[in-house]
């Protein structure tokens, strides 16, 4: 699909966005949102695949598309590669979250990095995912060889998703449009994936041939392409189940951690010794993106922001970041205020004014939250959780004692 055709399609989408989004949201509200990640090796096309999903489901407006167009060419990957370092280097470092909905379901996507040194970011994203889409780049493999070997990071991410109990695993064989014989390449790569999953004891939901760049089998099925006549990737995702609720967990409360308000050091609130939630209700709130549990914590503490965060008016009252560190940078830049957990605050940021100038975050003032009516300050409860079938109680006790041995400042120990 050319840049011109993408822009034309997006312009049409803009003109009918209000009616379409209302109908889509009403229908999708009846289904549970599917949280899924894209993972795999470096440059397998993960960010481009998500960009294609967003564009072809009309989740991207024309002005957003214009922002990722250079020299007349649209770089779909830039719709998710948001950090400046990522854009400059052409890689994904942070986990970028995006939201979109079809007529039958809502989706929260996590774009996980492919580089080995950022594997921990992939683990963070996979830990809360219902499904994982593992991309396999056909052009990097000896696709003419029926006994070809998969890339190490492809195997590593698949094994990690399995170990983290991601409920559904889908393999998307990408860039088949760039090989001489897409059908032969798909057959051989699918065979390698089947051998690998059988040896590793991994259950795979499906293997789909796709072209993220051209859109084949991503949103719309391309019957017969690469010898495949099954559903598209999106059609498969719409049918995947959510992770079943685990009722076999035992919980032990560890501590209650208070929230603190983070405000720009030049803000009027920075002159106060503490703030209340009512002091924040007229401010621009900075939130983590949909899918982050801490976003929900903030909206529980400041419920008046919930309505802005969930409808079109929210653009005037809330902004989103992909990580807590990103949010802090936004606060330092004066874009708004936010709430942070006490343990994320640098120790010297709570010292005297003279000491505070030495902190790594000199442009942010952290303030305790004390309510005007004398009610307890807002906190979040941190617990230790384990499966009831796990009977090594000495290990559980050792972990709990290790947490307490850290002498965490500002929290209330519960046991």
Q: What is the pLDDT of residues 112-143, one digit of tens each?
A: 776 566 677 778 778 888 999 999 999 999 99
- Asked if residue 351 has pLDDT above 80, the reply is no
Average pLDDT, integer, range 74-79: 62
- In the prediction, which pLDDT does 115 show? 59
Same domain assignment for residues 156 and 89 = yes
Check whether residue 198 and residue 269 sit in a common domain: no
Please check the confidence at residue 64 and state whether its pLDDT lies above 90: no
As a whole number of angstroms, the distance between CA 113 and CA 53 comes to 18
Residues 89 and 60 in one domain: yes
Residue 294: pLDDT band with limits 50, 70, 90: confident
Is residue 101 scored above 50 in pLDDT? Answer: yes
Domain end marker among 207, 239, 271: 239
- Are residue 43 and residue 163 in the same domain, yes or no? yes
pLDDT of 267: 93
* Dist CA 245 CA 375 (whole Å): 33
Residue 245 lies in a domain: no
pLDDT for 48 equals: 83
- Confidence band (pLDDT; 50, 70, 90) for 371? confident
- Looking at the structure, do residues 65 and 131 belong to the same domain, yes or no? yes
For 310-342, write each residue's pLDDT tens digit: 544 444 466 777 788 888 888 999 998 999 999
Residue 183 lies in a domain: yes
Helices of type H across 172-292: 182-200, 233-239, 277-280
Mean pLDDT for 77-98 is 52
With a cut of 50, say whether residue 92 has pLDDT above it: no
Structural domain span for residue 183: 3-239
Whole-number average pLDDT of the chain: 79
CA–CA dist 326, 312 (Å, integer): 23
In angstroms, the CA 410 to CA 366 distance is: 13
Verify that 84 and 166 share a domain, yes or no. yes
CA distances from 231 to 154, 173, 277, 369 (A): 23, 14, 49, 51
27-42 burial code (b ≥16 CB/10 A, e <16) = ebeeeebbbbbbbbbb
Tokens for 85, please give them: 């370092």
Q: Are residues 91 and 53 in the same domain?
A: yes
- Let me know whether 388 and 375 are in one domain: no
Give the model's pLDDT for residue 175. Answer: 93
For residues 403 and 290, state if they share a domain: no
pLDDT of 205 above 50: yes
Q: Both 80 and 163 in a single domain?
A: yes
Instruction: Please say which residue of 204, 239, 274 terminates a domain.
Output: 239
Higher pLDDT, 191 or 48: 191
Number of domains in the chain: 3
Quick: pLDDT tens for 384-401.
888 777 777 888 888 888
Q: 326 phi and psi, to 5 degrees?
A: -65, -45
35-44, 171-180, 300-309, 338-347: the lowest-pLDDT one: 300-309
Are residues 152 and 202 located together in one domain of the fold?
Answer: yes
């Amino acid at each position: 699909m050319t840049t011109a055709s993408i822009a034309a399609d997006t312009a049409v989408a803009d003109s009918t966005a209000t009616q379409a989004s209302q109908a889509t949201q009403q229908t999708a509200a009846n289904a549970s949102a599917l949280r899924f990640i894209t993972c795999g090796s470096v440059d397998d096309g993960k960010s481009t695949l998500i960009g294609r999903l967003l564009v072809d489901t009309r989740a991207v407006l024309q002005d957003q598309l214009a922002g990722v167009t250079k020299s007349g060419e649209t770089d779909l990957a830039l719709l998710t590669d948001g950090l400046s370092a990522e854009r400059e280097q052409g890689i994904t470092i942070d986990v970028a979250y995006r939201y979109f909905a079809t007529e039958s379901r809502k989706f929260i996507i996590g774009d996980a990095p492919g580089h080995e040194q950022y594997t921990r970011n992939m683990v963070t994203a996979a830990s809360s995912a219902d499904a994982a889409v593992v991309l396999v780049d056909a052009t990097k493999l000896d696709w003419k060889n029926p006994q070809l070997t998969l890339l190490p990071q492809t195997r590593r991410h698949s094994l990690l998703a399995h170990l983290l109990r991601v409920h559904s695993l889908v393999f998307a064989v990408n860039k088949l449009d760039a090989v001489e014989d897409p059908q032969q390449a798909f057959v051989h790569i699918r065979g390698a994936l089947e051998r690998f999953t059988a040896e590793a004891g991994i259950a795979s939901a499906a293997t789909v041939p796709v072209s993220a760049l051209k859109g084949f089998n991503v949103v719309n099925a391309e019957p017969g392409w690469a010898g495949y006549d099954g559903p598209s990737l999106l059609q498969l995702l719409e049918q995947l189940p959510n992770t079943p609720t685990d009722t076999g967990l035992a919980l032990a409360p560890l501590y209650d951690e208070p929230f603190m308000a983070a405000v720009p050091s030049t803000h009027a609130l920075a002159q106060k010794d503490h703030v209340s939630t009512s002091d924040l209700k007229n401010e621009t709130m900075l939130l983590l993106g949909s899918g982050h549990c801490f976003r929900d914590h903030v909206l529980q503490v400041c419920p008046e922001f919930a309505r802005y965060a969930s409808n079109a008016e929210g653009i005037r009252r809330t902004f989103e970041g992909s990580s807590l560190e990103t949010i802090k940078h936004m606060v330092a830049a004066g874009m708004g205020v936010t709430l942070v957990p006490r343990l994320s605050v640098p120790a010297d940021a709570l010292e005297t004014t003279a000491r505070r100038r030495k902190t790594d975050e000199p442009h942010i003032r952290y303030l305790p939250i004390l309510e005007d009516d004398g009610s307890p300050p807002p906190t979040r409860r941190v617990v230790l959780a384990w499966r009831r079938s796990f009977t090594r109680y000495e290990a559980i006790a050792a972990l709990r004692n290790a947490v307490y041995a850290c002498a965490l400042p500002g929290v209330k120990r519960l046991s």
